Structure 1
Amino acid sequence: MRMSQVGDRVLVHFVKRYADGAVRSSPDAAPLGVTVGTRHPRLPGLWGELVGLKAGDTARFTVPADRAFGATDPTRVVCVSRTRFAAEATLTPGRPARMRLSGGRSRRVRVIEVRAKDVLVDANHPRCGQALDLEVRLVAFEASTAPAN
């Protein structure tokens, strides 16, 4: 039976378990296509863990915080003008909010403190500094990487 190698395109189902107890999984959705040995934005820390698996195999591992969502970066805690938020936005310390950026884009931030003219926010990823427990089942090899008969 074929074993996965770096560069293979495979389909996987996954279960992510976060340090705060939250669980996200894909079994009810279509399998996710990934390339073995490369980074994937939805499955941080996965790149080398699929090597050597066969269709139907499951890998369970813990992704350390620095490889999962990164360490907390204190330079991403900044004070910004209240005008960066929609006038009707409810800004509550500890809660997320959408902050306007240049060019019409926006970014989700966590409100730390609301002041008269400005807001102290944390623009780090909401799960930075947290490890991730990941369970990945290799469902199948994509046809484009199947061995020739």
Structure 2
Amino acid sequence: MQEVKKGDTVKVHYHGKLTDGTTFDSSEGREPLEFEVGGGMVISGFDNGLLGMVVGEKKTLHIPAHEAYGPKREDLVMEFPIDRFPPDVTPEVGMVLSMSDGQGQQLPVTITEVKPDAVVLDANPPLAGKDLVFDIELVEIAGSKPLIILPD
């Protein structure tokens, strides 16, 4: 049987949970997730967990934070003056906003605290610092990208 290797395009059904069992994402009721293994499209622990699997195989992956979204970085938590918010926006905990990094890149930030004179913004990915658990099923190995050998 064909086993998953780097460069293969695969289709996978998954159920992503935190270690306390709370679901954060699932492909249930949707098409399976399709991506190239080793292509950097998914977190490294998920990518590596597929290697060697065969179609129809199911497994549970326990992915430590450093192989998922990395540790939570305190340098990505900042205070923003509340008087700099547009007057028609009422900041609330949990609200997700988009901020510019000064170089034209947009970053999603989450309001984690509202103080009388400032709002605490967190630019960490929501799953940063968390160990993750994925129940996965390999649905299909769609094939590999062809190896191109260039002439000398």
What TM-score, normalized to structure 2?
A: 0.77
- In the alignment, which residue of structure 1 is the partner of 2:150? none
**Cα distance in 1, alignment partners of residues 121 and 60 from structure 2:** 35
1:30 alignment partner, SS class: coil
Identity of matched residues, %: 25
Q: CA deviation at 1:38?
A: 3.9
Query: 1:143 and 1:71, CA in 2 relative to 1: closer, same or farther beyond 3 A?
Result: closer
- In the alignment, which residue of structure 1 is the partner of 2:149? none
1:39 alignment partner, SS class: coil
Unaligned runs of 5+ in 2: 146-152
Q: CA deviation at 1:115?
A: 3.0
**Cα distance in 1, alignment partners of residues 90 and 80 from structure 2:** 15
1:70-109 superposed matches below 5 A:
70-82=70-82, 85-92=85-92, 94-101=93-100, 103=104, 105=106, 107-109=108-110
Q: Are residues 1:52 and 2:49 paired?
A: no
Count matched residues: 143
**Cα distance in 1, alignment partners of residues 80 and 3 from structure 2:** 51
Whether the 8 Å contact between 2:111 and 2:119 is mirrored in structure 1 is no
1:47 alignment partner, SS class: helix
> Over the residues paired in the alignment, what is the CA RMSD in angstroms?
2.6
What TM-score, normalized to structure 1?
A: 0.78
